[in-house]
Chain A
Amino acid sequence: MTVHLTTLLAIIGMGLATYASRISGLMLMRGVVVKGRLKAALDAVPPAVLMAVITPTVFMTGKAEALAAVATALAAFFRLPLLVTILVGVVSVVVFRMVLH
C-alpha cells in the first residue's frame, strides 16, 4: 500500500480540474433569470447531450450495437420500466454480438 508523491499531486490536480468543470456550470447560473430563449436552450441540454453521448456507441461502433440501440429505444417507446429497458439493451447487445460475429 504505497502512495507516490507525484502520483498524489497528479491525482489532486485532476480532481481539481474535474471539480472545476462541475462547479463552474452552477456558478455561471447564479442569479440568472431563466426564461424565454435561455429556458428553451437549457431545456434542450438533456436531449441534446444524451444524444451526443450515445452517438458513437449507436452509430459508429457496429451493427450489433446499432440494433441493440433500436431494441432499447423500442422498449423505452413502450414505456417499460427503466431497469427492464436497460436489461433489454444489455441482453440484446449480447445476442446481436453472438449472431453477427
Chain B
Amino acid sequence: MSFRFSDFKAGVTVGWPMFLAYVPIAMLWGTLAAAKGFSPLEALFMSGLVYAGASQFVAIEMWVDPLPIVLMIFTIFIVNVRHMLYAASISRHINGIDRRWHPFLMYILTDEAWALLERQALTQPLTLGYYLGVALPLWPTWFISSAIGAFLGHALPDPALIGLDFAFAAMFIAILAGFWKGPRTGAVVIISAVVAVIAKTYFSGAWYIVLGGLAGVAVAALTYKEAAE
C-alpha cells in the first residue's frame, strides 16, 4: 500500500491535540536538561535520537559527573521495555504497509502515537499515510520544543499549572474506554491496575507498566476459551 495524502491528513486531524501536549512537556524536559549542563543542541540530539519522554526524564535525573553511562543505558532500556509490547501488538495492524517502512515506523512509536494507532486499528487496518500522520509530526514537535526549553531555561511555567500534565492520562483514559468489550475486559483492567499499584509501590522506574500490562495480558490468555472465538 502506498502513501496517500488524504490518509496523512486524517492522521494529523486525530493527532494534533497531542502535538500541543508535547510542546510544554518537551520544553519542561529541556529546562531540566539545561540545568544539568545540556546545550540546546545537545537537548535537540537527545530528544531526536532517544525520543522517549519518560526515559529522558529518568536519564536527566541520573545525570551526574562522571556519567554512569552503562547504568543509564540499562535503566533507559528497562524504562522502555513496554515498547516491546506496543510493537508486538501494532505489528499485526501494519501488514498492509511496505516492510521497508517498518524500522522507521517503530522508531517513531511513542506511547501516545501507539494508543491513537491502536484506536484506529480497532475498526480498520493502518495505512502508511495514517500512521505517519499520527506519529511523524510528534517527533519534530518533541525535539524542537526540547531545544527551545533548554534555550529558555527556567523562565518557563510548570505545565501542571494549567493541567497539561493530565492531558496524557486523559487521552489514555479516553482510548482505554474504546477497548471495552464486556466483563472479560473488566477482569483484564482490574488485574492490570492491582498489579500496577503493587509494582509502583515496590519498584522504581516504569516496571509498573510492564508488570501491570503483562498481568492483564496473562488474564486474557488464561480466560481464553476456544468457543469464544
Contacts and interface: CB of A to CB of B under 8 A. Distances in A.
B209 A52 contact: yes
Contacts of B85: 25, 45, 49
A33 to B, nearest CB: 11
Contacts of A60: 197, 200
Contact of A23 (B45, B87, B178, B216): B87
A54 B87 contact: no
Interface string B63-91: 00011010011101100111111111101
Interface residues of A, number: 71
B181 to A, nearest CB: 8
A24 to B, nearest CB: 5
A45 B166 CA distance: 22
Instruction: List 4 tightest A-B contacts by C-beta distance, closest first.
Output: A48-B216, A89-B170, A25-B87, A52-B212
A48 B215 contact: yes
Most chain B Cβ neighbours within 10 Å, of A15, A55, A97: A55
A54 B189 CA distance: 11
Nearest to B218: A41
> Interface SS of chain A: helix, strand, loop or mixed?
helix
Nearest to B121: A46
Interface stretch (B4-12, B35-43, B124-132): B35-43
B39 A65 contact: no
B42 A56 contact: no
Contact of A11 (B49, B115, B172, B211): B49
Interface string B196-220: 1100100000001111111111111
Contact of A26 (B81, B87, B220): B87
A19 to B, nearest CB: 6
Nearest to B16: A83
Interface in B153-199: 162-164, 166-167, 169-180, 185, 188-189, 192-193, 195-197
A53 B111 contact: yes
Given A20-B77, A25-B83, A49-B85, A69 B173 contact: yes
Interface of A: 1-4, 6-26, 28-29, 34, 36-38, 40-60, 65, 68-69, 72-73, 75-77, 82-83, 85-86, 88-91, 93-94, 97
Most chain B Cβ neighbours within 10 Å, of A15, A88, A94: A15
A49 B208 CA distance: 9
A45 B121 CA distance: 13
Most chain A Cβ neighbours within 10 Å, of B45, B51, B89, B166: B166
Contacts of B91: 25-26, 29
Nearest to A48: B216
B82 to A, nearest CB: 7
A77 B173 CA distance: 10
Contacts of A15: 49-51
B84 A73 contact: no
Contact of B77 (A2, A21, A25): A21
Given A72-B174, A73-B177, A14 B17 contact: no
